[in-house]
Amino acid sequence: MSNLLLSAILSLLCLSSIFGKNFYIALSDADSIYIRALDYYDESEDSSTIIEITYPKIHGLRNEAAEEKINSYLEEEFFKSIEWFDEFIAILDSFPTLEYERGMFFSFETGFDIKLLNQKVLSLALNHYEFTGGAHGNFYAIGYTFDLNDGELLTLDKIIILDSLPSLTKICEQRILEMFEAESLSDAGIFEDYIDLTFDQDFFLTSDAVVFQFDPYEIAPYSMGNIEVVIPFDEIKDHLLIYLNKKE
């Protein structure tokens, strides 16, 4: 197959991700690494509750053990919602007299966004939404960043120099003030006048930034949605481990 034809096919497949499933996300026309999106679907017997999962599978790594490690980890993480779906179905089946529940439609939906894919790193966000009754559904996101050389999950302490967290916290707070054009975090709508940034904080990487993501209710009301704080590498280069500063 010619490179031109392969490029055209990959472009069409990437566009199909906007409208459907089972798409491919390629690193580039010349590289062999790509992400395939796979689907899982199930529903209750009365079709009142559905679960739909679109999960990523990476292909083309030179280290096959690393590829299997990443894929196994991601499948396990994405399939956690199956357990919640099964538990919810069991609860509904245990209370058949709750008529108000029976006219409602419930859902568990999990998908993902690729944030960064190069020869060294894969960074993506799992996006989960569920509606199990009440005034509104709930959603959250989880970032996952992997070293493609060995399949290791890169936690924040492997991205950020250990003693730089207090300084990075101040930068994060300032970014939030700028985002909401506020004089204080409480004026911006944040619950507290400080951010408790720890090495457990959820994040993902892009080609030029680390992005801290805060779910609804984590630091602010549900109405403010998911808050993403983008901090460019160039502004915190003294806080980063060396390899993130290298230009490919």
pLDDT at 170 over 90: yes
* pLDDT, mean of residues 199-215: 95
Band of pLDDT at residue 143, cut at 50, 70 and 90: very high
Higher pLDDT, 93 or 207: 207
pLDDT at 125 over 50: yes
The pLDDT, as a whole number, for residue 8 is: 37
pLDDT at 101 over 70: no
The pLDDT, as a whole number, for residue 84 is: 94
The pLDDT, as a whole number, for residue 134 is: 79
Query: Could you please report the per-residue DSSP string of 127-182?
Result: EEEEE-SSSS-EEEEEEEEEETTT--B--GGGTB-GGGHHHHHHHHHHHHHHHHT-
| 3-154 CATH | 3.30.565.40
Mean predicted lDDT score pLDDT of the chain: 85
Task: State the residue for tokens 């970032």.
Answer: 143
Residue 52 — φ and ψ, nearest 5°? -135, 120
Question: Packing angle between helix 80-94 and helix 64-78, nearest 10 degrees?
Answer: 20
Band of pLDDT at residue 244, cut at 50, 70 and 90: low
Band of pLDDT at residue 96, cut at 50, 70 and 90: low
The domain segmentation of the chain, as residue ranges, is 3-154, 157-245
- Coil, strand or helix: which one is 90? helix
Question: How open is the CA angle 128-212-168, to the nearest 5 degrees?
Answer: 160
Which of 132-136, 178-182, 225-229 is predicted least confidently? Answer: 132-136
Higher pLDDT, 24 or 169: 169
The pLDDT, as a whole number, for residue 92 is: 82
Higher pLDDT, 32 or 172: 172
The pLDDT, as a whole number, for residue 65 is: 98
pLDDT at 97 over 70: no
* pLDDT, mean of residues 181-191: 95
Higher pLDDT, 155 or 101: 155
The C-alpha atoms of residue 31 and residue 69 are separated, in whole angstroms, by: 21
The C-alpha atoms of residue 109 and residue 76 are separated, in whole angstroms, by: 15
The pLDDT, as a whole number, for residue 17 is: 37
The pLDDT, as a whole number, for residue 2 is: 43
The pLDDT, as a whole number, for residue 25 is: 66
| 157-245 CATH | 3.90.640.20
